[in-house]
Homo-oligomer: A and B are copies of this chain.
Protein backbone atom coordinates (compact mmCIF):
# COMPACT_ATOMS: atom_id res chain seq x y z
CA UNK A 1 0.00 0.00 0.00
CA UNK A 2 1.03 3.54 -0.71
CA UNK A 3 1.64 5.08 2.73
CA UNK A 4 2.26 8.52 1.23
CA UNK A 5 -0.33 11.23 1.07
CA UNK A 6 -1.51 10.87 -2.53
CA UNK A 7 -2.40 14.01 -4.55
CA UNK A 8 -6.05 14.15 -5.71
CA UNK A 9 -5.43 13.72 -9.47
CA UNK A 10 -3.19 10.69 -8.83
CA UNK A 11 -5.79 9.17 -6.52
CA UNK A 12 -8.50 9.56 -9.18
CA UNK A 13 -6.19 7.98 -11.76
CA UNK A 14 -5.42 4.98 -9.54
CA UNK A 15 -9.14 4.47 -8.89
CA UNK A 16 -10.12 4.71 -12.56
CA UNK A 17 -7.36 2.27 -13.54
CA UNK A 18 -8.63 -0.19 -10.92
CA UNK A 19 -12.25 -0.38 -12.10
CA UNK A 20 -13.75 -1.73 -15.31
CA UNK A 21 -17.02 -1.34 -17.19
CA UNK A 22 -19.67 -3.76 -15.94
CA UNK A 23 -20.76 -6.80 -17.97
CA UNK A 24 -23.72 -6.47 -20.34
CA UNK A 25 -27.37 -7.11 -19.62
CA UNK A 26 -30.48 -6.91 -21.76
CA UNK A 27 -33.04 -4.36 -20.63
CA UNK A 28 -36.33 -3.15 -22.03
CA UNK A 29 -36.66 0.26 -23.65
CA UNK A 30 -38.73 1.74 -20.84
CA UNK A 31 -35.78 1.31 -18.45
CA UNK A 32 -33.11 2.50 -20.86
CA UNK A 33 -32.58 6.19 -20.09
CA UNK A 34 -29.23 6.91 -18.47
CA UNK A 35 -27.78 3.53 -19.45
CA UNK A 36 -24.89 3.07 -21.88
CA UNK A 37 -24.92 0.83 -24.97
CA UNK A 38 -22.54 -2.15 -24.96
CA UNK A 39 -22.87 -2.74 -28.69
CA UNK A 40 -23.52 -0.82 -31.87
CA UNK A 41 -27.19 -0.88 -32.82
CA UNK A 42 -27.91 -1.69 -36.48
CA UNK A 43 -31.28 -0.88 -38.05
CA UNK A 44 -33.16 -3.95 -39.28
CA UNK A 45 -35.60 -1.86 -41.33
CA UNK A 46 -35.66 1.32 -43.39
CA UNK A 47 -37.14 4.44 -41.81
CA UNK A 48 -39.48 5.42 -43.38
CA UNK A 49 -40.42 1.84 -44.02
CA UNK A 50 -42.13 2.85 -47.33
CA UNK A 51 -42.42 5.97 -49.48
CA UNK A 52 -45.19 7.98 -47.85
CA UNK A 53 -46.86 11.34 -47.87
CA UNK A 54 -45.50 14.16 -45.72
CA UNK A 55 -48.82 16.02 -46.00
CA UNK A 56 -52.56 15.59 -46.14
CA UNK A 57 -53.54 16.12 -49.80
CA UNK A 58 -53.53 14.32 -53.13
CA UNK A 59 -50.91 11.91 -54.46
CA UNK A 60 -50.33 12.83 -58.12
CA UNK A 61 -48.01 12.38 -61.10
CA UNK A 62 -46.10 15.68 -60.86
CA UNK A 63 -46.18 16.30 -64.59
CA UNK A 64 -50.03 16.20 -64.60
CA UNK A 65 -50.00 19.27 -62.30
CA UNK A 66 -47.21 21.11 -64.10
CA UNK A 67 -48.91 24.42 -64.90
CA UNK A 68 -51.71 24.38 -62.33
CA UNK A 69 -52.39 27.69 -60.56
CA UNK A 70 -55.31 29.20 -58.66
CA UNK A 71 -56.76 31.03 -61.69
CA UNK A 72 -55.87 28.18 -64.02
CA UNK A 73 -56.28 24.95 -62.03
CA UNK A 74 -55.98 21.37 -63.20
CA UNK A 75 -58.69 18.79 -62.51
CA UNK A 76 -57.71 15.18 -61.69
CA UNK A 77 -59.87 12.11 -61.15
CA UNK A 78 -59.72 10.67 -57.62
CA UNK A 79 -59.27 6.89 -57.91
CA UNK A 80 -58.28 5.93 -54.37
CA UNK A 81 -58.40 7.11 -50.76
CA UNK A 82 -55.28 6.32 -48.72
CA UNK A 83 -55.45 7.06 -45.01
CA UNK A 84 -52.30 6.34 -43.01
CA UNK A 85 -52.06 2.68 -42.13
CA UNK A 86 -53.81 1.36 -45.24
CA UNK A 87 -52.17 -0.04 -48.38
CA UNK A 88 -53.05 1.76 -51.67
CA UNK A 89 -55.43 -0.25 -53.89
CA UNK A 90 -54.92 1.49 -57.25
CA UNK A 91 -52.13 2.52 -59.62
CA UNK A 92 -52.26 6.23 -60.49
CA UNK A 93 -52.54 6.76 -64.25
CA UNK A 94 -52.48 9.95 -66.36
CA UNK A 95 -54.69 12.71 -64.87
CA UNK A 96 -55.56 10.54 -61.92
CA UNK A 97 -54.82 11.07 -58.25
CA UNK A 98 -55.47 9.55 -54.83
CA UNK A 99 -56.63 11.29 -51.72
CA UNK A 100 -53.86 10.71 -49.17
CA UNK A 101 -53.24 11.49 -45.50
CA UNK A 102 -49.94 12.33 -43.81
CA UNK A 103 -48.10 9.02 -43.46
CA UNK A 104 -50.25 7.39 -46.16
CA UNK A 105 -48.31 5.03 -48.47
CA UNK A 106 -47.58 6.53 -51.90
CA UNK A 107 -49.52 4.65 -54.57
CA UNK A 108 -47.70 3.27 -57.62
CA UNK A 109 -47.59 5.78 -60.46
CA UNK A 110 -47.71 8.85 -58.18
CA UNK A 111 -44.48 10.73 -57.43
CA UNK A 112 -45.56 13.84 -55.53
CA UNK A 113 -48.26 15.14 -53.17
CA UNK A 114 -50.26 18.37 -53.50
CA UNK A 115 -51.11 19.81 -50.08
CA UNK A 116 -54.83 19.82 -49.31
CA UNK A 117 -54.64 23.61 -48.82
CA UNK A 118 -54.04 24.03 -52.60
CA UNK A 119 -56.86 21.76 -53.71
CA UNK A 120 -60.62 21.54 -53.78
CA UNK A 121 -62.75 18.45 -54.07
CA UNK A 122 -65.86 18.54 -56.26
CA UNK A 123 -68.50 15.90 -56.46
CA UNK A 124 -67.41 12.49 -55.42
CA UNK A 125 -64.27 11.99 -57.40
CA UNK A 126 -62.75 15.14 -58.81
CA UNK A 127 -59.83 17.10 -57.29
CA UNK A 128 -59.14 20.64 -58.45
CA UNK A 129 -55.38 21.24 -58.20
CA UNK A 130 -54.49 24.93 -57.78
CA UNK A 131 -50.73 24.61 -57.47
CA UNK A 132 -48.32 22.49 -59.46
CA UNK A 133 -45.81 20.27 -57.66
CA UNK A 134 -42.34 19.10 -58.60
CA UNK A 135 -41.46 15.42 -58.65
CA UNK A 136 -40.74 14.10 -55.09
CA UNK A 137 -42.42 17.14 -53.49
CA UNK A 138 -44.06 16.33 -50.11
CA UNK A 139 -42.97 12.71 -50.28
CA UNK A 140 -40.86 11.01 -47.59
CA UNK A 141 -38.84 8.25 -49.16
CA UNK A 142 -38.16 4.77 -47.87
CA UNK A 143 -34.90 4.81 -45.92
CA UNK A 144 -34.29 8.57 -46.19
CA UNK A 145 -34.03 8.90 -42.40
CA UNK A 146 -32.42 5.53 -41.57
CA UNK A 147 -31.24 2.82 -43.97
CA UNK A 148 -31.70 -0.86 -43.09
CA UNK A 149 -28.27 -2.26 -42.20
CA UNK A 150 -26.83 1.06 -41.05
CA UNK A 151 -25.44 1.63 -37.55
CA UNK A 152 -27.83 4.04 -35.84
CA UNK A 153 -26.28 4.19 -32.37
CA UNK A 154 -22.76 3.29 -31.40
CA UNK A 155 -21.38 1.42 -28.43
CA UNK A 156 -20.82 3.91 -25.61
CA UNK A 157 -23.85 6.06 -26.38
CA UNK A 158 -25.76 7.26 -23.30
CA UNK A 159 -29.45 6.55 -23.89
CA UNK A 160 -31.79 9.55 -23.57
CA UNK A 161 -35.49 9.84 -24.49
CA UNK A 162 -34.43 10.61 -28.09
CA UNK A 163 -32.52 7.34 -28.44
CA UNK A 164 -35.43 5.46 -26.89
CA UNK A 165 -37.67 6.92 -29.61
CA UNK A 166 -35.17 5.99 -32.30
CA UNK A 167 -34.87 2.42 -31.02
CA UNK A 168 -38.65 2.03 -30.90
CA UNK A 169 -38.89 3.43 -34.45
CA UNK A 170 -36.72 0.58 -35.75
CA UNK A 171 -38.69 -1.95 -33.73
CA UNK A 172 -36.09 -2.67 -31.02
CA UNK A 173 -37.87 -3.37 -27.76
CA UNK A 174 -34.73 -4.19 -25.78
CA UNK A 175 -31.01 -3.32 -25.83
CA UNK A 176 -27.73 -4.50 -24.35
CA UNK A 177 -26.26 -2.06 -21.83
CA UNK A 178 -23.68 -2.16 -19.07
CA UNK A 179 -25.20 -3.36 -15.80
CA UNK A 180 -25.63 -0.87 -13.00
CA UNK A 181 -22.96 -1.59 -10.38
CA UNK A 182 -24.54 -2.96 -7.19
CA UNK A 183 -23.19 -0.89 -4.34
CA UNK A 184 -23.01 -1.94 -0.70
CA UNK A 185 -23.21 1.10 1.61
CA UNK A 186 -22.35 0.63 5.26
CA UNK A 187 -21.74 2.92 8.20
CA UNK A 188 -19.28 1.98 10.91
CA UNK A 189 -18.92 3.24 14.45
CA UNK A 190 -20.27 2.55 17.95
CA UNK A 191 -21.75 6.05 18.05
CA UNK A 192 -23.91 5.59 14.95
CA UNK A 193 -27.63 5.00 15.56
CA UNK A 194 -30.41 4.13 13.14
CA UNK A 195 -32.70 7.05 12.28
CA UNK A 196 -35.68 4.86 13.14
CA UNK A 197 -34.78 4.60 16.84
CA UNK A 198 -34.67 7.11 19.68
CA UNK A 199 -31.09 8.09 20.53
CA UNK A 200 -29.17 8.94 23.64
CA UNK A 201 -26.93 12.00 23.80
CA UNK A 202 -23.79 9.93 23.13
CA UNK A 203 -25.09 8.75 19.74
CA UNK A 204 -25.47 10.39 16.33
CA UNK A 205 -27.97 9.42 13.67
CA UNK A 206 -26.65 7.53 10.66
CA UNK A 207 -26.76 10.26 8.04
CA UNK A 208 -23.90 9.06 5.82
CA UNK A 209 -25.50 5.85 4.62
CA UNK A 210 -28.57 7.86 3.50
CA UNK A 211 -26.55 10.56 1.77
CA UNK A 212 -24.25 8.00 0.11
CA UNK A 213 -27.17 5.74 -0.88
CA UNK A 214 -28.85 8.73 -2.55
CA UNK A 215 -25.67 9.95 -4.25
CA UNK A 216 -24.86 6.44 -5.52
CA UNK A 217 -28.36 6.02 -6.91
CA UNK A 218 -28.30 9.43 -8.59
CA UNK A 219 -24.92 8.57 -10.16
CA UNK A 220 -26.51 5.50 -11.76
CA UNK A 221 -25.57 2.77 -9.30
CA UNK A 222 -27.87 0.30 -7.61
CA UNK A 223 -27.13 0.83 -3.90
CA UNK A 224 -28.21 -1.16 -0.87
CA UNK A 225 -27.95 0.12 2.72
CA UNK A 226 -26.17 -2.68 4.58
CA UNK A 227 -26.76 -1.18 8.00
CA UNK A 228 -24.58 0.04 10.81
CA UNK A 229 -21.60 -1.96 12.05
CA UNK A 230 -20.06 -1.43 15.47
CA UNK A 231 -16.29 -1.13 15.91
CA UNK A 232 -15.93 -4.81 16.66
CA UNK A 233 -13.62 -6.80 14.43
CA UNK A 234 -15.83 -9.89 14.15
CA UNK A 235 -18.90 -7.80 13.25
CA UNK A 236 -17.13 -5.78 10.59
CA UNK A 237 -15.45 -8.89 9.16
CA UNK A 238 -18.78 -10.69 8.89
CA UNK A 239 -20.43 -7.66 7.28
CA UNK A 240 -17.64 -7.18 4.74
CA UNK A 241 -17.91 -10.85 3.81
CA UNK A 242 -21.61 -10.25 3.12
CA UNK A 243 -20.58 -7.45 0.78
CA UNK A 244 -18.45 -9.68 -1.44
CA UNK A 245 -21.39 -10.27 -3.79
CA UNK A 246 -21.50 -6.54 -4.66
CA UNK A 247 -19.64 -4.61 -7.35
CA UNK A 248 -18.58 -1.71 -5.13
CA UNK A 249 -18.24 -1.46 -1.34
CA UNK A 250 -18.51 1.92 0.36
CA UNK A 251 -17.96 2.33 4.09
CA UNK A 252 -17.93 5.52 6.09
CA UNK A 253 -16.05 5.92 9.34
CA UNK A 254 -13.29 3.73 10.70
CA UNK A 255 -10.47 4.81 8.40
CA UNK A 256 -8.90 7.52 10.53
CA UNK A 257 -6.00 7.05 12.96
CA UNK A 258 -8.03 6.24 16.08
CA UNK A 259 -7.74 2.97 18.00
CA UNK A 260 -11.26 2.03 17.00
CA UNK A 261 -10.64 2.68 13.31
CA UNK A 262 -10.28 -0.99 12.49
CA UNK A 263 -11.48 -1.03 8.90
CA UNK A 264 -8.03 -1.01 7.33
CA UNK A 265 -6.79 -3.78 9.62
CA UNK A 266 -9.71 -6.05 8.72
CA UNK A 267 -9.33 -5.33 5.03
CA UNK A 268 -5.75 -6.55 5.18
CA UNK A 269 -6.80 -9.62 7.12
CA UNK A 270 -9.40 -10.42 4.43
CA UNK A 271 -6.69 -10.24 1.77
CA UNK A 272 -7.66 -6.85 0.41
CA UNK A 273 -5.16 -5.03 -1.77
CA UNK A 274 -5.05 -1.52 -0.35
CA UNK A 275 -3.91 1.11 -2.85
CA UNK A 276 -3.69 4.18 -0.59
CA UNK A 277 -5.18 5.48 2.62
CA UNK A 278 -4.42 9.19 2.71
CA UNK A 279 -5.17 11.81 0.07
CA UNK A 280 -4.09 15.45 -0.04
CA UNK A 281 -7.71 16.58 0.03
CA UNK A 282 -9.71 18.78 2.35
CA UNK A 283 -12.15 17.72 3.65
CA UNK A 284 -11.54 13.98 3.53
CA UNK A 285 -7.83 13.27 4.03
CA UNK A 286 -8.22 9.82 5.63
CA UNK A 287 -9.73 8.26 2.49
CA UNK A 288 -8.88 4.64 1.78
CA UNK A 289 -9.12 2.91 -1.56
CA UNK A 290 -8.35 -0.70 -2.41
CA UNK A 291 -9.62 -3.91 -3.90
CA UNK A 292 -11.24 -6.62 -1.81
CA UNK A 293 -11.51 -9.84 -3.82
CA UNK A 294 -11.16 -7.54 -6.83
CA UNK A 295 -14.13 -5.43 -5.70
CA UNK A 296 -13.41 -1.68 -5.48
CA UNK A 297 -13.50 -0.71 -1.81
CA UNK A 298 -13.97 2.94 -0.84
CA UNK A 299 -13.29 3.67 2.81
CA UNK A 300 -14.76 7.12 3.33
CA UNK A 301 -14.16 9.27 6.41
CA UNK A 302 -17.01 9.42 8.91
CA UNK A 303 -17.45 13.18 8.95
CA UNK A 304 -20.46 13.98 6.75
CA UNK A 305 -18.80 16.66 4.62
CA UNK A 306 -15.66 14.55 4.18
CA UNK A 307 -17.73 11.53 3.17
CA UNK A 308 -19.79 13.54 0.70
CA UNK A 309 -16.83 15.28 -0.96
CA UNK A 310 -14.92 11.98 -1.16
CA UNK A 311 -17.90 10.45 -2.92
CA UNK A 312 -18.10 13.29 -5.45
CA UNK A 313 -14.39 13.29 -6.25
CA UNK A 314 -13.49 9.59 -6.00
CA UNK A 315 -16.54 7.30 -6.05
CA UNK A 316 -18.70 8.96 -8.71
CA UNK A 317 -16.06 8.69 -11.49
CA UNK A 318 -15.68 4.98 -10.69
CA UNK A 319 -19.44 4.41 -10.95
CA UNK A 320 -19.55 6.28 -14.27
CA UNK A 321 -16.70 4.18 -15.69
CA UNK A 322 -18.46 0.99 -14.54
CA UNK A 323 -21.66 2.19 -16.26
CA UNK A 324 -19.64 2.46 -19.48
CA UNK A 325 -19.42 6.25 -19.68
CA UNK A 326 -16.52 7.99 -21.37
CA UNK A 327 -16.82 11.29 -19.55
CA UNK A 328 -16.38 10.53 -15.89
CA UNK A 329 -15.20 13.75 -14.36
CA UNK A 330 -17.74 16.50 -13.88
CA UNK A 331 -17.28 19.51 -16.11
CA UNK A 332 -16.01 22.43 -14.06
CA UNK A 333 -17.17 26.02 -14.55
CA UNK A 334 -15.29 29.24 -13.88
CA UNK A 335 -16.57 31.99 -11.65
CA UNK A 336 -15.50 35.14 -9.85
CA UNK A 337 -15.10 35.01 -6.08
CA UNK A 338 -17.70 37.16 -4.34
CA UNK A 339 -15.78 37.19 -1.05
CA UNK A 340 -12.29 36.65 0.36
CA UNK A 341 -11.48 33.12 1.51
CA UNK A 342 -8.68 32.18 3.90
CA UNK A 343 -6.93 29.02 2.71
CA UNK A 344 -3.98 27.01 3.96
CA UNK A 345 -1.97 25.50 1.10
CA UNK A 346 -0.93 21.83 0.97
CA UNK A 347 -4.10 19.95 0.01
CA UNK A 348 -6.70 20.34 -2.74
CA UNK A 349 -9.48 22.13 -0.90
CA UNK A 350 -13.08 21.64 -1.98
CA UNK A 351 -14.95 24.56 -0.46
CA UNK A 352 -18.75 24.37 -0.11
CA UNK A 353 -20.08 27.37 -2.02
CA UNK A 354 -23.05 28.92 -3.75
CA UNK A 355 -22.81 30.22 -7.30
CA UNK A 356 -25.28 32.18 -9.35
CA UNK A 357 -25.46 33.54 -12.87
CA UNK A 358 -25.61 37.25 -13.61
CA UNK A 359 -27.83 38.45 -16.45
CA UNK A 360 -24.94 38.30 -18.91
CA UNK A 361 -24.29 34.66 -17.99
CA UNK A 362 -21.24 35.28 -15.80
CA UNK A 363 -20.81 33.31 -12.60
CA UNK A 364 -20.21 34.71 -9.11
CA UNK A 365 -19.41 32.28 -6.32
CA UNK A 366 -19.06 32.62 -2.56
CA UNK A 367 -18.18 30.08 0.12
CA UNK A 368 -21.24 29.29 2.22
CA UNK A 369 -21.49 28.54 5.88
CA UNK A 370 -18.97 26.89 8.14
CA UNK A 371 -16.46 24.65 6.33
CA UNK A 372 -15.72 22.18 9.14
CA UNK A 373 -15.69 18.57 7.96
CA UNK A 374 -18.43 17.69 10.43
CA UNK A 375 -20.76 20.48 9.32
CA UNK A 376 -23.82 19.26 7.46
CA UNK A 377 -25.86 22.44 7.06
CA UNK A 378 -23.38 24.16 4.73
CA UNK A 379 -23.45 21.12 2.44
CA UNK A 380 -27.19 21.51 1.97
CA UNK A 381 -26.79 25.23 1.37
CA UNK A 382 -24.07 24.76 -1.27
CA UNK A 383 -24.73 24.25 -4.97
CA UNK A 384 -21.07 23.81 -5.89
CA UNK A 385 -17.58 23.12 -4.60
CA UNK A 386 -14.83 25.65 -5.23
CA UNK A 387 -11.68 23.69 -6.11
CA UNK A 388 -8.52 25.30 -4.66
CA UNK A 389 -5.31 23.61 -5.80
CA UNK A 390 -2.69 22.59 -3.17
CA UNK A 391 -0.17 25.35 -3.98
CA UNK A 392 -2.72 28.12 -3.54
CA UNK A 393 -3.13 30.08 -0.30
CA UNK A 394 -5.79 32.74 0.39
CA UNK A 395 -8.24 33.55 -2.38
CA UNK A 396 -9.28 37.16 -2.84
CA UNK A 397 -12.65 38.59 -3.79
CA UNK A 398 -12.66 39.10 -7.58
CA UNK A 399 -10.26 36.23 -8.35
CA UNK A 400 -11.34 33.62 -10.91
CA UNK A 401 -11.85 30.15 -9.46
CA UNK A 402 -12.85 26.74 -10.78
CA UNK A 403 -16.10 25.26 -9.46
CA UNK A 404 -17.75 21.85 -9.58
CA UNK A 405 -21.54 22.23 -9.73
CA UNK A 406 -23.56 20.00 -7.38
CA UNK A 407 -27.01 20.95 -8.69
CA UNK A 408 -28.79 20.07 -11.87
CA UNK A 409 -27.59 23.07 -13.86
CA UNK A 410 -30.97 23.51 -15.47
CA UNK A 411 -32.86 23.58 -12.23
CA UNK A 412 -30.62 25.38 -9.76
CA UNK A 413 -32.10 25.34 -6.31
CA UNK A 414 -33.41 28.69 -5.25
CA UNK A 415 -31.20 30.02 -2.48
CA UNK A 416 -34.31 31.15 -0.62
CA UNK A 417 -35.26 27.47 -0.29
CA UNK A 418 -32.01 26.72 1.57
CA UNK A 419 -31.51 27.25 5.23
Residues of A bordering B, CB below 8 Å: 29-30, 32-34, 37, 47-50, 54, 56, 83-87, 101-105, 116, 140, 144-146, 150-158, 160-173, 189-192, 195-196, 199-215, 217-218, 225, 230-231, 256-260, 302, 304, 308, 311, 320, 325-327, 330-331, 333-334, 357, 361, 370, 372, 374-377, 379-380, 382, 405-414, 416-419
Q: Are B327 and A411 in contact (CB under 8 A)?
A: yes
Contact A411 to B84, CB < 8 A, known contacts A204-B49, A205-B171, A379-B165: no
Residues of chain B lying within 8 A (CB to CB) of residue A102: 256, 258, 302
Q: Is the interface of A mostly helix, strand, loop or mixed?
A: loop
Q: Are B417 and A169 in contact (CB under 8 A)?
A: no
| Most central of A85, A146, A161, A164 by chain B CB within 10 Å | A161
Q: Are A196 and B210 in contact (CB under 8 A)?
A: no
Cα separation A33 to B223 with both chains bound (whole Å)? 14
What would 17 A/B residue contacts be, using CB atoms closer than 8 Å? A49-B204, A56-B258, A85-B191, A85-B230, A86-B191, A102-B258, A103-B189, A140-B372, A145-B376, A155-B417, A158-B417, A160-B218, A162-B211, A163-B380, A168-B206, A331-B412, A333-B361
Q: Are B411 and A409 in contact (CB under 8 A)?
A: no
Q: Are B205 and A418 in contact (CB under 8 A)?
A: no
Cα separation A154 to B412 with both chains bound (whole Å)? 15
Contact A32 to B214, CB < 8 A, known contacts A84-B260, A102-B302: yes
Residues of chain B lying within 8 A (CB to CB) of residue A189: 84-85, 103
Copies of this protein in the complex: 2
Cα separation A419 to B29 with both chains bound (whole Å)? 19
Contact A331 to B166, CB < 8 A, known contacts A56-B257, A161-B212, A201-B49: no
- Picked from B140, B230, B260, B405, the residue with its CB within 8 Å of the CB of A374 is B140
Q: Are B377 and A145 in contact (CB under 8 A)?
A: yes
Cα separation A212 to B54 with both chains bound (whole Å)? 22
| Most central of A165, A200, A408, A410 by chain B CB within 10 Å | A165
